[in-house]
Structure 1
């Protein structure tokens, strides 16, 4: 195959895996991995709870990929603003879109837009120190509802329940610590529409919910229903059985009198957020199984006294300028990773990761997804017209327009600065939050935390 120059949009796991597989499968491939943030790693850096350092171990593997000779990281470039798809195609033979999913999927119930009702993704971005979200977060509610039955719901509940001082072993920035220290939440209520066998929690994360000595996990028999479909799910998947076993342990465990409590409510579907302008409660409907694993409402409703609501019902990808987008699925239409426009492949355009298949599966699933896309690209190489200009010409043009690019050496400087901040406080790292400070650290400056 002839040499090929490829641009990847998005430096999270999906984009980095795609670059890795391509350069290993094609010895004459070079890849520039762009990201709108000054840093790589995407949701691993800005979507994983700070008290889950084991998951962040994946950064070590991603870093080895970025160190490869034919892969270049180019940060602080906003696709659609600083550079367009058409511009990229003039400098690269192909473009792979791997922008993931950062927005909250909407929950269409009355009152969801009241003050005190939040998307979980926004909260996650705040406590992970994302530079594009406000530095402060309202944490006045003493009783909080979290809607969802996946790992993000667990992360939100745990971060709201754990005292701030227990987070001082993590990489949270100072503004997040100060915010959590002022948090007034005592009771966190997690609501799931279905029963034990249909929860989407990872077993390890679910067990860790009770690891804080300051938190009791409270579970009652109400909603603890397992239908035939649930029994089948338990028998088929070890992870499902482990989740149900953990639920049973929570059900049997006596409360310790801890100052914070996470309450688990099964078979409860949210139907309305209550209050005039601000949240004063959540109304749920008791659900029942239909015999096939699905559930329907019973017509029995219950009101919960909460002052804040977090919806953790899934992430959603955002539409990108110059590329087709399916607003129903929140994905870019494709066939085996080839972007489809009007039902036909868009020349030189490929997609991988959550914006390709939706925000489902764990980080490891992204590898097989990227492999399919790269196989399609490699099959098309000889039919792709060579780009008339060089990638370096584009980077020079961006610099001339005032875009401050961050390359791997800049990330290395920022990384070293964050580690130095952490070392001074007896921690592994303290994140730098503002974009300006991140760029200054990348230049070798001395910004604040």
Structure 2
């Protein structure tokens, strides 16, 4: 019987779901799957892109762990694609590869002053407070007044983490260095800016409700933002999610504010125009234009310009994918060009084509690197199903590796001195973090330094 030796690059939800779906799919061949990730621990953005005070979303790890713990998928962590392992290496040892590397960098925001000192990308801040090993251990939390640009869930995560008192995070898996940084923060006011109205936000009701439960933090909304047009009223009447969001926001309009030591302000119909220099090259204010509904669900500028003093700004306007060595990349969209997960390329003679958008046989994509950083876990599963269906149907065009034994890739990594981690190593690290948490009266305390993660995972200490 034919056997598929498959490499999956990226051990987050997209990669794990693809592996699980393939193993459960109806097929007439055997499957052997190796999952590679540049990080020593699996689970990708579920571990490093979700705020630590979101235990419900973190619970996704339990489902992903159940898949890995079946024992029919091998995991190789701390392996850097393009450095430790190349596309040519994969072609020598596998029949195909699925890239599930996600989108981990911040999308750009093209307004004057966005590069001033004190201006940050939300994705990098999230990586810091989630204990990502490749982010510096300290973060410059020295601002009293902070702006967050964006009206999605990441913007609310960032705003909530900035406004929340550090002691209220001790029940989470927040790393020690993050707790100390947040504890020393002098922040008093966090301002969230969205250019559209309350009925056009991209965050979910659950994320919004969580803001109202923050101890010693007032939620401030402004009456001028609730003069709805017919399109907004129709959205409230016809969409349950919008109805709930509108209900929550209007309840907050009735709540007294002013008693808390910190405030989280929600500004709607506010289009950022410029981050203003304070005269020393640092963020000093945000300049924005009031917008108004255009009657069709969108907004137009009013010409009214306002300015608010701030000392730091975080842009939460989306994530962006990163190019991979030897793999086509769409620089405008931040994705791997593909047709339903089948990777496409333009006339690279090394793959036997003379030009045009042609399928790059043996190479597939799934998740955010396939479709862009939109959608939730359900979209990730449907993405994987689509990609896996094409992988199965492309059997006649799979690579024909020179050495396809499962041991051959282990030997290659060993020869190159790669300190890779495996699933047993993740279990060791997991138990170590849980033990650190137990000693501190908490659920878990994350290990942050990469070398320490690898040493613990490999049982070298």
Preserved contact between residue 34 and residue 73 of structure 1 (Cα < 8 Å): yes
Q: Aligned residue for 1:2?
A: 2
Q: Aligned residue for 1:419?
A: 434
CA distance in structure 2 between the aligned counterparts of 1:385 and 1:215, rounded to whole angstroms:
57
- Where does 1:12-91 land on structure 2 (aligned, <5 Å)? 12-25=12-25, 26=27, 28-91=30-93
Q: Deviations over 1:63-101 (max 9, x none)?
A: 011123321111000111111112111111110000001
Does 1:288 pair with 2:302?
no
Q: Aligned residue for 1:140?
A: 142
CA distance in structure 2 between the aligned counterparts of 1:228 and 1:95, rounded to whole angstroms:
50
Cα deviation for residue 191 of structure 1 reads: 0.4
Q: Structure 1 residues 185 and 371 mapped into 2: Cα distance closer, same or farther (>3 Å)?
A: same
Preserved contact between residue 172 and residue 443 of structure 2 (Cα < 8 Å): yes
- Where does 1:114-133 land on structure 2 (aligned, <5 Å)? 114-133=116-135
Q: Aligned residue for 2:262?
A: 260
CA distance in structure 2 between the aligned counterparts of 1:354 and 1:267, rounded to whole angstroms:
29
- Where does 1:145-164 land on structure 2 (aligned, <5 Å)? 145-164=147-166
- Where does 1:405-416 land on structure 2 (aligned, <5 Å)? 405-416=420-431
The range that moved more, 114-123 or 204-213, is 204-213
CA distance in structure 1 between the aligned counterparts of 2:375 and 2:162, rounded to whole angstroms:
25
Q: Secondary structure at the match of 1:89?
A: helix
Among 362, 367, 373, the alignment partner of 1:348 is 362
- Where does 1:93-104 land on structure 2 (aligned, <5 Å)? 93-104=95-106
Q: Aligned residue for 1:387?
A: 401
Cα deviation for residue 142 of structure 1 reads: 0.4
Preserved contact between residue 210 and residue 217 of structure 1 (Cα < 8 Å): yes
Q: Aligned residue for 2:391?
A: 377
What is the TM-score with the length of structure 2 in the denominator? Answer: 0.94
Two-structure CA RMSD over aligned residues (Å): 1.3
The range that moved more, 286-295 or 131-140, is 286-295
Preserved contact between residue 361 and residue 399 of structure 2 (Cα < 8 Å): no
Q: Aligned residue for 2:412?
A: 397
| Gapped regions of structure 2 (runs ≥ 5) | 347-356
Q: Aligned residue for 1:165?
A: 167
Q: Aligned residue for 2:352?
A: none
Preserved contact between residue 222 and residue 266 of structure 1 (Cα < 8 Å): no
- Where does 1:323-362 land on structure 2 (aligned, <5 Å)? 323-342=327-346, 343-362=357-376
Preserved contact between residue 196 and residue 225 of structure 1 (Cα < 8 Å): no
Q: Structure 1 residues 19 and 103 mapped into 2: Cα distance closer, same or farther (>3 Å)?
A: same
Does 1:302 pair with 2:306?
yes
Q: Secondary structure at the match of 1:323?
A: coil
Q: Deviations over 1:344-400 (max 9, x none)?
A: 110100000001111011123210111000001011123324322124312211222
The range that moved more, 210-219 or 131-140, is 210-219
CA distance in structure 2 between the aligned counterparts of 1:187 and 1:375, rounded to whole angstroms:
50
Cα deviation for residue 228 of structure 1 reads: 3.3
Q: Aligned residue for 2:351?
A: none
CA distance in structure 2 between the aligned counterparts of 1:370 and 1:68, rounded to whole angstroms:
19
Preserved contact between residue 196 and residue 226 of structure 1 (Cα < 8 Å): no
Cα deviation for residue 259 of structure 1 reads: 0.6
Q: Structure 1 residues 206 and 363 mapped into 2: Cα distance closer, same or farther (>3 Å)?
A: same
CA distance in structure 2 between the aligned counterparts of 1:416 and 1:351, rounded to whole angstroms:
32
Q: Aligned residue for 2:249?
A: 247
CA distance in structure 2 between the aligned counterparts of 1:371 and 1:184, rounded to whole angstroms:
47
Q: Deviations over 1:148-175 (max 9, x none)?
A: 0001111111101111111110101110
Q: Deviations over 1:317-358 (max 9, x none)?
A: 111111111111111111111001121110100000001111
Cα deviation for residue 203 of structure 1 reads: 0.5
Q: Secondary structure at the match of 2:248?
A: helix
CA distance in structure 1 between the aligned counterparts of 2:71 and 2:423, rounded to whole angstroms:
12
The range that moved more, 280-289 or 290-299, is 290-299
Q: How many matched pairs? A: 446
Q: Secondary structure at the match of 2:177?
A: helix
The range that moved more, 342-351 or 1-10, is 1-10
Cα deviation for residue 445 of structure 1 reads: 4.8
Preserved contact between residue 122 and residue 155 of structure 2 (Cα < 8 Å): yes
Preserved contact between residue 35 and residue 76 of structure 1 (Cα < 8 Å): yes
Preserved contact between residue 335 and residue 372 of structure 2 (Cα < 8 Å): yes
What is the TM-score with the length of structure 1 in the denominator? Answer: 0.97
CA distance in structure 2 between the aligned counterparts of 1:231 and 1:345, rounded to whole angstroms:
46
CA distance in structure 1 between the aligned counterparts of 2:97 and 2:229, rounded to whole angstroms:
47
| Gapped regions of structure 1 (runs ≥ 5) | none
Q: Structure 1 residues 445 and 392 mapped into 2: Cα distance closer, same or farther (>3 Å)?
A: closer
